[in-house]
Structure 1
Amino acid sequence: MAATIAAAVAGTAATAAYLDAKFHIREDLNKGNLDNAAAEAQKFIADKEARNELLLYHDLQNWAKRDIPNHTFLEYQGRSWTYKQFHADLQRVGNWLMNDLGVRRSEMVAISGPNSAEYLMLWFAIDGIGACQSFINHNLTDNALTHSVKLCEPRYIIADKETAERLEPCRADLEASGVTIIYYDEALFATFRDSTPLPSSRTQGIKSSDTRSLIYTSGTTGLPKGVMMISGRTTNVARSTAAHLKLTPSDKFYTCLPLYHGAAQGLCTTPVIHAGASMRLGRKFSHKTFWPEVADSGANILQYVGELCRYLVNAPVHPLEKKHKVQVAWGNGMRPDVWERFRERFNIPVIHELYAATDGLGATFNANKGDFGRSCIGIRGALWYHRMGNREVHCRIDPDTEEVVRGEDGWVVRCNVGEPGEVFHRVDEAMKDVVFMGYFKNQGASDKRWMRNVFEKGDLWFRSGDVHRTDADGRVYFVDRLGDTFRWKSENVSTNEVSDVLGGWDQIAEANVYGVAVPNADGRCGCATIVLTEGLMPENLDVAGLGKFVLDKLPRKGRRSERA
């Protein structure tokens, strides 16, 4: 009898394991309750709004009030702050903003500068007095800089002294528009003495639909566009990211990604604050300081973007590159030719790749520990497709026009398994202005993100502008941004696909691929600009070997002519 029961149990376990492997049941369950996710988010936001605690400043304040001994929030260049200490500094910065500068509730204040403790203090002091931030990319110059600042019509741009060489040439233009430039540094902040608690009235009555900040797009398709970030979305991204990563006060992040960008904000800083975790902040990325800071921090989570990872694996060995406590690398954009090299060289067990966009909807996650799922941005199983398969769809795109392809019946064509297509998200009409507020003062660009009559009359879908593909095993891969593909001899070619293959040649450190027009030929021919591995001279490049490698690895449509 016992043997019979044991055999039955073993058989059931084997069946369950098979079904899980085939349909990714645990993977879907790890995403949480797909039915209740929206309801949970709405309840969380409504509860915070009812308590007048919608802002991340309130989360900082609540952790400070707990006064947990040695509860570190921030470490930066040899200095550290507990939540209580950082909150106390916010009072001084906030009083300076209110009393010396006269910053009003709901006023937009432009801030610019590389990563620093002072930048974070400005960010959350502005939050604490009920004003709004316009996060300016401090690397911008000339027209892009003045456009970004003037777009939000601020009275002030408060900028790190380091940015003066870029701001000063624009001073006359900005001042003519009523913008005053104020430079800050650590010494200025040390002069702030007024520690009067910031009045709670400044943050009462804020609604979840209120625009609280602007985060700018990269400007790859024109001048930067300001993405309107509403308070409900900001606080919910903090909550959901912290929950997904299972963050606790004992966790520590390391990031050197720029704080003006959505990645360092919504994927690191705000979830850290929500969970009461801590962060070690690097001023900027530098191979010289990266591993010493990571090792010294004791961080267990490292934030990355793909370019950072490629640079690290191509850099000389650093004596501290394995002397760290990092268990998870968390970020986006790690390419296939870098993935395992990064994991093995730096001894980081989990690569947690995600896909999301500041001006997008939805996200995918892939906490990868082995071969299956390597290089993908997410894994979808039967449960996900049952619940979400008609709300997120890959649509066939003409890469020349970047328009959707419609079938003979007039409806948009869904992609087949393995076929790249633009990601569309279905949105209920009542939620249109909630899920995506649009671009600040750019209704035309905002309207282009929406499409109706996609699969049935009157339906409403959000266009991501990103191309994904899903294989037969449910693995989702990022292919390209729209505009990063080209057509050659009637075939569509992905620039990322070609870059990934070229990056696999041991003499190439990095490859940037693009399509170029050829006289008297349709479409565009592939062209690549390459960076050779360190120390290799161009005359020593094995061109014949590279040519054979490309012929072996790339489908014919992605190759250049051997005589090119």
Structure 2
Amino acid sequence: MVSITTALALLSAGLYLDGRTRLSRDLAFGIPGLKTKWWFERQLVPNNDISLYNRFEDQCRIRPYAIALVYEGHSYSWRDLEIASNRMSHWYISEGIEPKDRVAMFMTNSPLFVISWLALLKIKAVAAFINNQIVGPVLLHSLKTANSKLLVFDYELSVSLEESIDQIRGELGYRLFTVTPQEQVLSRFDEHGKDPEKRWFGFMDWKQCSAEGFPRESRKDVVIGDAVALIYTSGTTGFPKAAVMDHGRCSLAISVWSGICKITEKDRSYDCLPLYHSAGAIVGIGQSWISGCTVVLARKFSTSTFWKDVRENDVTLFQYIGELCRYLVNAPEDPLDKDNKVRLMFGNGLRPDIWRRFQERFGVETVFEAYTMSEATSALFNLTSGEDGAGAVGKLNRSMQTTGLECHPWADCPPFDTNCANRFRGPLVRLFQAGMKIVRVDLDTEELLRDKKGFCIECDVGETGELVTLADNKTSQSRFIGYYNQPKLSNAKLIQDAFVKGDQYMRTGDLLYRTKDHFWYFADRAGDTFRWKGENVSTAEVADTLGHLDGIASCTVYGVTVPRQDGRAGMVAVVLKDAYWETDPKDVNNKEETQGDISTTEAVACSAPSAKINEKALEQFMVRLGQLASKRLPSYAIPRFVRICEQELEITGTFKNKKVELKKEAFDLEKVHERLYWWTPQGCYKPFGPKELAIIHAGRASL
């Protein structure tokens, strides 16, 4: 019999080894991963049971009258959603929708979004989730990419569609139907004195259709790579790209997610993230189709109602992005802050400086943080309940593919700051290290650096580089699917012969570094995309929109770090046309008189006469710039800062704007001696100076 002393010694040794190796963390991820792998490869694939809809149907069979969804005080059972989606499926069929057809969904968060998605899944059609905040050219591009002929929408979003309705119906050939009940729409027509006969859309009369279901056998031909949805994500350049979320990958993801978080039918999960993103839809809604839990769905996130909703609905889990948590922790304290039943929060982008403060203030015991992207072939996870690991994202396991949350990172972490967000991988998980590497990259050209043999160069410990992940399409675990209807953009994400001849890796566009203790840290986003207000912002997209404004000779957009703010705020450097500048004749004469007394280099620099900006013209320009930005860009994409440059922007040999110095200088008044403006709560640009800078550093800026 083991003595107490021996037992204590063994326990101490075990705790010591676990502290050194993080073996328990490996097991926390490894066991659900192995279970999912066995279930997927031994049950789903052999039985042709891949369809994600079948996971929902399983819950309908097991617990038909249990509550599946709660929305604004109304409860929907699994059977309620099944019958409603049956009816809507028959309506889609009556409109000519067939398997693999795409249907564009331009909708807000509501049960109708979920019902429409289910309706398309059960008839093997594909929903294209269109970001409900976009307008104009970006909206048209997204609809063109979906290559559909049918668009369903919430009537409250009709203004965004009406602006481009001629192109949507004429050039793209879309037929449009509103999911909003007919009586509600017609009452609004009456309120505004509009003629219902002149409307440009039809009504989805799906409630009159048959409630008959569709046999499971009808979905046996669904394969791993078939799409469950198209979800748009901002890339490093250009307009949004439609990432293909497929049945195999989504099934693996939500199963692992539910397993790691130990979500069961007894849980109630709060989802206030937009359903047009993979985080809100695939993870937020999809995980309930595996776990059987109840989803409490919110129309949108609200600081003032978040905890009220959580308390009133007995929520035990909630989904977050880092920005959401910052808003909540910065809100005024309330005696009811800890009055909740939340046992776990899951999501991505929770900053280290917010992490423990949030847990302690609101009494949330466990955090599950994830890092990946919509088109990712790998993922990083961290599940922690205490100080150890707070702020970290870890655990890569390529056998546990995730849905691809939109990455919500933070920037400017010191290389060896242990309080910084890091990625830790224990000994079991490090067996997969070959599929995930950090390589050297030229930050100006964004080109990966290669050695004399033509292979990528792995970064040393503490050296920042771009993360690349194995994209081996020979296995289901590391498949790269790419973007729908955009083969060139898909291929642009891939690199061949990265480390050996014949291999293939995916560029993530994210900059990371690692320490000798195997911690992995996020440093920055490479390329032309940055994160703000929980959304990815394409700088090329913003620059293209603003560049059409009369008066702009050239401009470049980039993200800058703002104290006490998550992500990076947009900033645009603008070069105005000559008409905005007035040359001083006296200054020209002075230049000519002194030219002979200076060196040739200095003469070149001084040869152009100095110019003075036309103040009235500049004031009018800034008004027009603000009006254009608010009209043509989503709120999160509006640049928060404007820099009026007095000389041409520097460009690379490939004619790309050099942004490194601009990013470093940002709105630092000691480095920037040109005019600066900032975006005010009034929705316009105002001059930015020492007083405004002090407001930002005090954390009182409303950006």
Q: Same fold (TM over 0.5)?
A: yes
User: Which residue number corresponds to residue 552 of structure 2?
Assistant: none
Task: Show CA shifts across 1:215-268 (max 9, x none).
Answer: 111366311101122221122222222222222111121011011101112322
Matching of residues 255-274 of structure 1 within 5 Å: 255-274=271-290
1:106 aligns with 2:100: yes
Deviation string, structure 1 residues 19-43 (Cα, Å, up to 9, x no partner): 2111212222222169x84x95376
1:530/1:18 CA distance change after superposition, 3 Å: farther
Q: TM-score, normalised by structure 1?
A: 0.84
Structure 2 equivalent of residue 89 of structure 1:
84
Q: Is 1:32 the equivalent of 2:77?
A: no
CA deviation after TM superposition for structure 1 residue 89, in Å: 1.6
Query: In the alignment, what sits opposite 2:429?
Result: 384
Distance 1:350 1:225, change over 3 A: same
TM-score of the superposed pair, with normalisation by structure 2: 0.68
Deviation larger for 40-49 or 201-210 = 40-49
* SS of match in other structure, 1:394: strand
Picking from 470, 480, 489, the partner of 2:514 is 470
- Cα displacement string for residues 147-175 of structure 1 (whole angstroms, at most 9, x for unaligned residues): 11121221210111111010111211111
| Maintained 8 Å contact 1:513/1:526 | no
After the TM superposition, which residues 510-549 of structure 1 pair with which residues of structure 2 at under 5 Å, given as runs? 512=569, 523-524=660-661, 525-528=664-667, 543=694
For 2:359, give the aligned amino acid: R
Match of 1:489 in 2: none
2:145 and 2:223 map into 1 onto residues whose CA distance is: 23
Quick one: structure 1 residues 468 and 179, their matched pair in 2 at CA, closer, same or farther if it must change by over 3 Å? Answer: same
- Give the aligned partner of residue 177 of structure 2: 182
Which one of 161, 164, 182 corresponds to residue 167 of structure 1?
Answer: 161
| Cα pair 1:399 1:485 within 8 Å, conserved | no
Which residue pairs with 1:557 in the alignment? none
Spell out, residue by residue over 1:402-442, the C-alpha distance to the aligned partner (whole angstroms, 9 max, x if none): 22233455432222233322222224352499711211122
Contact 1:118 1:189 in 2 (8 A): no
CA distance in 2, matches of 1:307, 1:62: 35
Q: Match of 1:438?
A: 482
User: Quick one: distance in 2 between partners of 1:360 and 1:280?
Assistant: 28
Q: Which runs of 5+ in 1 are unaligned?
A: 487-494, 550-564
Q: Give the aligned partner of residue 313 of structure 2.
A: 297
Q: Give yes or no for the alignment of 1:447 onto 2:441.
A: no
**Closer, same or farther in 2 for the Cα pair 1:189/1:271, shift >3 Å?**
farther
CA contact (8 A) 2:52 2:228 kept: no
Q: Does 1:65 align with 2:122?
A: no
Alignment match of 1:346 (pick from 341, 362, 384): 362
Aligned position for 1:404: 448
In structure 1, C-alpha distance between the alignment counterparts of 2:391 and 2:54, rounded to whole Å = 38
> 3-state DSSP class of the match of 2:30?
coil
Residues 1:330 and 2:330 aligned together? no
Distance 1:45 1:444 in 2: 32
Whether the aligned pair in 2 keeps the contact of 1:113 and 1:163 (CA below 8 Å) is yes
Offset at 1:546?
5.5
Residues 309 and 334, structure 1, Cα contact 8 Å, conserved in 2:
yes
SS in 1 for 2:76: strand
Q: Is the 8 A contact 2:323 2:566 kept in 1?
A: no
Query: Which residue is equivalent to 2:21?
Result: 23
User: Which amino acid in 1 is paired with 2:390?
Assistant: R
Does the residue aligned with 2:326 lie in a helix, a strand or coil? helix
- Quote how far apart the aligned CAs of 1:358 are: 0.9
SS at match of 1:21: helix
Alpha-carbon separation, structure 2, partners of 1:544 and 1:199: 61
Partner residue in 1 for 2:151 = 157
Cα separation, 1, equivalents of 2:37 and 2:567: 41
Is contact 2:88–2:207 with CA below 8 Å preserved after alignment? no
Deviates more, 1:54-63 or 1:162-171: 54-63
Alignment correspondent of 2:269: 253
Which amino acid in the other structure matches residue 176 of structure 2?
I
Give the 3 Å change call, closer, same or farther, for CA 91–538 of structure 1 in structure 2.
same
Instruction: Report the RMSD for the aligned CA atoms in angstroms.
Output: 3.4
Q: Measure, in 1, the Cα distance between the counterparts of 2:143 and 2:314.
A: 37
1:200 to partner: Cα distance? 4.6
> How far apart are 1:380 and its partner, in Å?
1.0
> Does residue 116 of structure 1 match 2:91?
no
Distance in 2 (alpha carbons) for counterparts of 1:206 and 1:72: 28
3-state secondary structure, aligned to 1:393 = strand
Residue identity matched to 2:150 = Y
Deviation at 1:49, TM superposition (A): 4.5
The percent identity for this pair of structures is 29
Q: 2:130 aligns with which of 127, 136, 158?
A: 136
1:203-222 deviation digits (Å, cap 9, x = unpaired): 34122222332111136631
Q: Cα 1:318–1:88, aligned 2, differ >3 Å: closer, same or farther?
A: farther
Match of 2:259 in 1: 243
Is residue 75–residue 281 contact of structure 1 (8 Å, CA) maintained in 2? Answer: yes
Q: State the one-letter code of the partner of 1:123.
A: W
1:269-306: per-residue Cα shift (whole Å, max 9, x none)? 11111111110000011223222212212111110111
Q: Structure 1 residues 269, 8: CA separation in 2 closer, same or farther (over 3 Å shift)?
A: same
Is the 8 Å Cα contact of residues 109 and 133 (structure 1) preserved in structure 2?
yes
Q: Secondary structure at the match of 1:428?
A: coil
Which secondary structure does the structure 1 equivalent of 2:523 belong to? strand
Name 1:554's counterpart in structure 2.
Answer: none
Change in CA separation of 1:514 and 1:338 when aligned onto 2, cut-off 3 Å? farther
Letter in 1 for 2:512: H
Query: Displacement of 1:47 after TM fit?
Result: 3.1
Larger radius of gyration: 2
Q: Is the 8 A contact 2:109 2:300 kept in 1?
A: yes
Q: What is the alpha-carbon distance in structure 1 between the residues aligned to residue 55 and residue 566 of structure 2?
A: 43
CA distance in structure 2 between the partners assigned to 1:134 and 1:440 by the alignment? 10
Query: What is the letter of the counterpart of residue 279 of structure 1?
Result: V
Contact kept in structure 1, 2:378 and 2:478, CA below 8 Å: no
- Does the 8 A contact of 1:45 with 1:54 survive in 2? no
CA–CA separation in structure 1 for the residues paired with 2:572 and 2:366:
35
Match among 214, 220, 238 for residue 222 of structure 1: 238
Relative to 1, partners in 2 of residues 1:393 and 1:128: Cα closer, same or farther, differing over 3 Å? Answer: same
Aligned residue identity for 1:475: F
The alpha-carbon distance between structure 1 residues 398 and 377, as it changes in their structure 2 partners (threshold 3 A), is same
The letter for the 2-side match of 1:73 is A
In structure 2, C-alpha distance between the alignment counterparts of 1:468 and 1:510, rounded to whole Å:
15
User: Do 2:102 and 2:146's aligned partners in 1 also have CA atoms closer than 8 Å?
Assistant: yes
Partner of 2:457: 413
Residues 103 and 128 in structure 2, CA contact (< 8 A), matched pair in contact too: yes
The residue that corresponds to 1:561 in the other structure is none
CA distance in 2, matches of 1:545, 1:189: 51
